[in-house]
C-alpha cells in the first residue's frame, strides 16, 4: 500500500494521503518546539510525500495553525488537504499552569459549539493559517457537549459544506460510541478516531468502523502509537497520555519481539495496522521535528510480510477476526 497515494474521504471530492501529519506536536505539546523546528517538520513531511495535514486551535493556542500556515504557504493550495477543528475558541486570559502546551502564551480556550461559534472559529483558523478554505472541518472532542454539537454546530458545518466553504464534515474524538451516533445522522463524510483502533486497542471495531463501512463514511485514525508505548515499549512509556500499566508494556514488548523476527520495527506495524480496515482512509502521526517526520514516512513505507500478522494472531496478540493490511 502506497502511503502517499491519495484516496477520497467518503463521497466527497476531498482526498488525503494514506499517511497524514498530525500537527499537535508542533504547537509545543509538553515541551517547546519553536517556529523554526515546527516549520521544518512540516517541510520535511512535504518532501517525503505527505499531503494531508491536521491541526486545531487547541494545539498550542493557535501556534500549530500559524506554523503550519507558514510552511504550507510555499505550496499551491490545491496541492494538499488541510483539516482543522471547531468547538473551542481562543480568548485572552491566564492559562492553567498545568497546561500541556508549553508555548501557549496568555490565552485560554473556551468551549463553544454554537453556530456562531463555528463560523467565528473557522474564520479565526483561516486567518492563522493564511488560507482561504479548509478542506475538512472536525467537531473537536464534543464528549460533554453532544446536544450543542448535534443541534447547533453540525447544521452549521452542513451549511458550510453546501456553500462550498468546506469540503467535508467530520468529528474527532477518542471515544467511538458518540462518533457512531453521529454517523447514524447521515450528515458526516468522515471521522477522526484517536487511540481506539490500534494494535493495543481495537474497540472502534465494536461500533464505529462497521457503521462507517456500511455508510461509505471514511475513518481517519490517530493515536496509532497510543501516545508512545507502541513506539518504544520501555518501562515508563505512556499509554493514552498516562504511564502505561506493566501488562500493557508487556503486551507491546511481546509484539515487538515478533516484529524483530521479521526485521520490522514495531512502529511500522503499529502505523500500518489500521489501514487494513476498508473504512480507514488515512492514519495521522504526530511529528514534532524533521527527524520524526522522516521516521514516520520511513515506517509507513516498510514492507510487512503477511507472516507477521499471522504470528501476532497465533500468539493471541491480535484477534483473528481483525482485518490486517
Q: Report, as residue numbers or ranges, the catalytic residues.
A: 59
Q: The cell 510555499 sits on which residue? A: 74
Write the CA distances from 147 to 112, 217, 285, integer angstroms: 12, 22, 30
Check if the beta carbon of residue 311 is closer than 8 Å to that of residue 17. no
DSSP string, 2-33: -TT-EEE-TTSS-EEESEEEE-SGGGTBSS--
Q: Would you state the cell numbers that stand for residue 33, as one nine-digit string?
A: 518546539
Rounded Cα gap, residues 258 and 110, in angstroms: 45
Q: Return the percent helix, strand and coil in the chain, to nearest 5.
A: 40, 20, 40
Amino acid at each position: 500500500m502506497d502511503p502517499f497515494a491519495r484516496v477520497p474521504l467518503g463521497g466527497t471530492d476531498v482526498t488525503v494521503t494514506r499517511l497524514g501529519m498530525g500537527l499537535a506536536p508542533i504547537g509545543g505539546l509538553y515541551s517547546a518546539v519553536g517556529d523554526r523546528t515546527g516549520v521544518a517538520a512540516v517541510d520535511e513531511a512535504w518532501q517525503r510525500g505527505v499531503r494531508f495535514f491536521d491541526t486545531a486551535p487547541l494545539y498550542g493556542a493557535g501556534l500549530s495553525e500559524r506554523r503550519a500556515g507558514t510552511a504550507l504557504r510555499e505550496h499551491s493550495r490545491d496541492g494538499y488537504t488541510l483539516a482543522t477543528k471547531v468547538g473551542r475558541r481562543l480568548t485572552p486570559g491566564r492559562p492553567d499552569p498545568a497546561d500541556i502546551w508549553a508555548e501557549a502564551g496568555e490565552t485560554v480556550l473556551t468551549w463553544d459549539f454554537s453556530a456562531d461559534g463555528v463560523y467565528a472559529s473557522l474564520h479565526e483558523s483561516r486567518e492563522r493559517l493564511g488560507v482561504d478554505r479548509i478542506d475538512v472541518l472536525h467537531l473537536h472532542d464534543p464528549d460533554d457537549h453532544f446536544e450543542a454539537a448535534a443541534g447547533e454546530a453540525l447544521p452549521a458545518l452542513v451549511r458550510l459544506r453546501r456553500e462550498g466553504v468546506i469540503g467535508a464534515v467530520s468529528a474527532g474524538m477518542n471515544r467511538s460510541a458518540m462518533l457512531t451516533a453521529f454517523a447514524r445522522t447521515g450528515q458526516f463524510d468522515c471521522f477522526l478516531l484517536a487511540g481506539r483502533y490500534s494494535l493495543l486497542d481495537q474497540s472502534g471495531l465494536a461500533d464505529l468502523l462497521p457503521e462507517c463501512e456500511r455508510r461509505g463514511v471514511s475513518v481517519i485514525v490517530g493515536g496509532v502509537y497510543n501516545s508512545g508505548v507502541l513506539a518504544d515499549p520501555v518501562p515508563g512509556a505512556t499509554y493514552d497520555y498516562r504511564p502505561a500499566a506493566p501488562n500493557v508494556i508487556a503486551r507491546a514488548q511481546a509484539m515487538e519481539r515478533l516484529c524483530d523476527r521479521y526485521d520490522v520495527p514495531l512502529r511500522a506495524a503499529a502505523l500500518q495496522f489500521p489501514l487494513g480496515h476498508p473504512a480507514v482512509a488515512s492514519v495521522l502521526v504526530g511529528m514534532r521535528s524533521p527527524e520524526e517526520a522522516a521516521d514516520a514516512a520511513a515506517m509507513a513505507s516498510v514492507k510487512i510480510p503477511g507472516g507477521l500478522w499471522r504470528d501476532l494472531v497465533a500468539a493471541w496478540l491480535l484477534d483473528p477476526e481483525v482485518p490486517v493490511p
